[in-house]
Amino acid sequence: MKINKNCGYPALVVRAMLAIGLGVASASAEATLLNAPSGGTFTMNLDRNALAPYAGGYYLSTFWSTATSNAHNPANTGDHLLSQLNTTEISGLNQVFELTAIGNDPSPQASQRYVKATSADFAIDTITLAGVAGAQVGMTGVQGFYAPNWPPTGAGLVNGDFSLLYDANRQTLGRTGWYLANNIYFTMAVYDLSNLSLNFSNAGNWQLSGDLLMSPENAGMLQGAQLVDVGSFCLGTGAYAGCGQVSAVPLPAAVWLFASGFLGFIGIGRRPYLSRSVTL
């Protein structure tokens, strides 16, 4: 960094700014392991035009929330949900799945339902955005899709009881290693995650967002192209649940005046120090 000695700042103030700036830069470079969420939401937004080529015409027709798909209710089997599938298209925006608790898989569950618990050892490295192999975030909620042109007379499909997992082997062709697995009827990767962005305040309050790619496994079943961007997602935990932003801690006006000038000077901008962002 080059400093103009004629910039008008007293030498002592400049030294103080540099010392604080180096401290902020050092802190931001240290990796933090984000903990398994004790609660939160996974919001999915699907692009109807991107889905349309699959299975001869494919769209979202039904969504069951955590409450309406209650896996503890023995009546809510996979077959029952499939029998209740609508054939009229609905919006694929703002589908909210609730995250499951840490511990053992919920029990008992209705037939053909395999909701997964969130793993206690689930973690995200804030520098590499890598995860822990075999660990997962579980969630509840079910999607229903309909393909009117799937021979011979149209067909329905349900996805849901998802789990979010990390596999380093899935880091090719724009994939990040993170993927979303279906756990109703059977377990299969349905979406690979890409273009990840991570915001966090601390280990228990964080938000992961990005794009959903049609997994090779799901694309093969639906007779379409692999790894097409078919939508976006946002996972929010703690204060980020619902994917809202964490408010900055109120500070006295004089501190804000000093901070805004100082951050502009060192080129960091006005992002609150308590909330950091990482993009992969």
Residue range 39-49, pLDDT digits in tens: 999 999 999 99
Residue 213: predicted pLDDT: 98
**Which two three-digit tokens encode residue 198?**
């991570």
- Stretch 79-89: mean pLDDT, rounded? 97
Residue 31: predicted pLDDT: 79
Residue 27: predicted pLDDT: 40
Lowest mean pLDDT of 179-188, 254-263, 271-280, name the range. Answer: 254-263
**Which two three-digit tokens encode residue 170?**
């899935």
Of residues 272, 200, 202, the one with CA closest to residue 236: 200
**Which two three-digit tokens encode residue 119?**
């793993």
Residue 246: pLDDT above 50? no
User: Among the residues of the chain, which ranges form H helices?
Assistant: 11-29, 48-51, 78-83, 216-221, 253-266
Residue 176: pLDDT above 50? yes
- Percent of residues, the chain, with pLDDT higher than 90: 72
Res. 275 pLDDT band, cuts 50 70 90: low
Cβ–Cβ < 8 Å for 178, 201? no
Phi, psi of 189 (to 5 degrees): -65, 125
Counts for the chain of helices (H) and strands (E), in that order: 5, 14
Greater model confidence, 32 or 139: 139
Q: What SS3 state is found at 164?
A: strand
- Stretch 151-173: mean pLDDT, rounded? 95
Greater model confidence, 22 or 97: 97
Residue 13: pLDDT above 60? no
Of residues 98, 108, 101, 103, the one with CA closest to residue 76: 108
Res. 252 pLDDT band, cuts 50 70 90: very low
- Stretch 96-100: mean pLDDT, rounded? 97
Residue 162: pLDDT above 60? yes
**Given strand 59-64, what is the order of strands in its sheet?**
59-64, 142-147, 155-160
pTM over 0.75: yes
- Stretch 227-251: mean pLDDT, rounded? 79
Of residues 206, 273, 274, 280, the one with CA closest to residue 240: 206
Res. 86 pLDDT band, cuts 50 70 90: very high
Residue 269: pLDDT above 60? no
| Average of per-residue pLDDT values in the chain | 83
Query: CA 260 to CA 255: how far, in whole Å?
Result: 9
Residue 63: pLDDT above 60? yes
Residue 254: predicted pLDDT: 39
